[in-house]
Structure 1
Amino acid sequence: MYQAVAAIVFVASAAPVWAQATPEGLWRNIDDKTGEAKAEIRIRDIGGGVLNGALEKRLSKDAKPDEVCDECSDDRKGKPILGLEIIRGAKKADGKEVWEGGKILDPENGRNYTLRMTPVEGGKKLEVRGSIGPFGRTQTWIRIQ
């Protein structure tokens, strides 16, 4: 009896740790050039283990609240940057703690990049890499609790 209760308590207390090993949640992205916080992005599972992410809050000093994605060339062209879906179609790689196969949009230039997301430091940070062929860059995003 006591062992069963102890097991339930252990599993319940460990559940938040399991949840942290995924990109799902709210993240603050940091500009890799200036070191300044730029935005908050919420990543969600839209079904079947597929992750999408939308820009939930803009933090840049020069961000205009009514700015739209003029540079976008797909269905996001002309849409407000606030609320814009910038991550689409990421899936967990087989046997790895890596999500890939999706795309990430840079609303500043309208380009879509191949996406790779890797939770690090127990899920406190997320390495987000956008690339075109062998060229790309990685940003480290910070989880917001």
Structure 2
Amino acid sequence: MRKMLFVWLSMLIGLQAIAQNNQNIVGKWRTVDDETGETKSIVEVFQKADGKYYGKISKLLIRPENDKCVQCKDDRKNQPLLGLEIIRGIIRKGSEFSDGTITDPKNGKTYKCIITRKGDELLVRGYIGFSLIGRTQTWKLVN
């Protein structure tokens, strides 16, 4: 009886860990351009001490026209793309991550951001105004 209870509890704890990991966005992700389908970079998503999530470009897979964020309008202006923090201030709300921003280094524009994890993929949506006006990219987990 004790063995069965131990096995059952172990399975339950294992399933909870899998479920929590499936909703965690921390890790390295291959960005895939929603317009061209090209894999462009690796973005590392991490959590800071403030409890919010951030993401920076950790590897460039395609040589861009300019290796700096020339079009950025804030503290990222003319900063190198490699190491550039493109996701800022994301908060976890249930199974969704939102209330932060994402910056497109290609055009320097910053958008509101919602991120949802689906297995080994992140659905990353940048939008203005209401979430209906924007675009979504599917990023793939780097193993």
**TM-score normalised by length of structure 1:** 0.85
Equivalent residue for 1:28? Answer: 30
Instruction: Say which is worse superposed, 2-11 or 71-80, in terms of deviation.
Output: 2-11
Q: List runs of 5+ in structure 1 lacking aligned partners.
A: none
Distance 1:8 1:28 in 2: 33
How far off is 1:49 after superposition? 2.9
Equivalent residue for 1:50? Answer: 52
For 2:64, give the aligned amino acid: A
Deviation digits for residues 29-79 of structure 1 (CA, Å, limit 9, x no counterpart): 11111111011101001124310000111112x336x81111111111111
Distance 1:126 1:105 in 2: 16
Q: SS of the counterpart of 1:15?
A: helix
Q: List runs of 5+ in structure 2 lacking aligned partners.
A: none
| Aligned: 1:127 with 2:118 | no
For 2:128, give the aligned amino acid: I
Equivalent residue for 1:113? Answer: 111
How far off is 1:144 after superposition? 1.2
Distance 2:21 2:142 in 1: 13
Instruction: Say which is worse superposed, 131-140 or 102-111, in terms of deviation.
Output: 131-140
Q: SS of the counterpart of 2:48?
A: strand
Q: SS of the counterpart of 2:80?
A: coil
How far off is 1:4 after superposition? 6.5
How far off is 1:131 after superposition? 0.6
Equivalent residue for 1:63? Answer: 64
How far off is 1:23 after superposition? 1.3
How many residues are treated as equivalent by the alignment? 139
Q: Percent identity?
A: 36
Distance 2:57 2:22 in 1: 20
For 1:132, give the aligned amino acid: I
Distance 1:48 1:83 in 2: 20
Equivalent residue for 1:74? Answer: 74
Distance 2:58 2:137 in 1: 18
Q: SS of the counterpart of 1:47?
A: coil
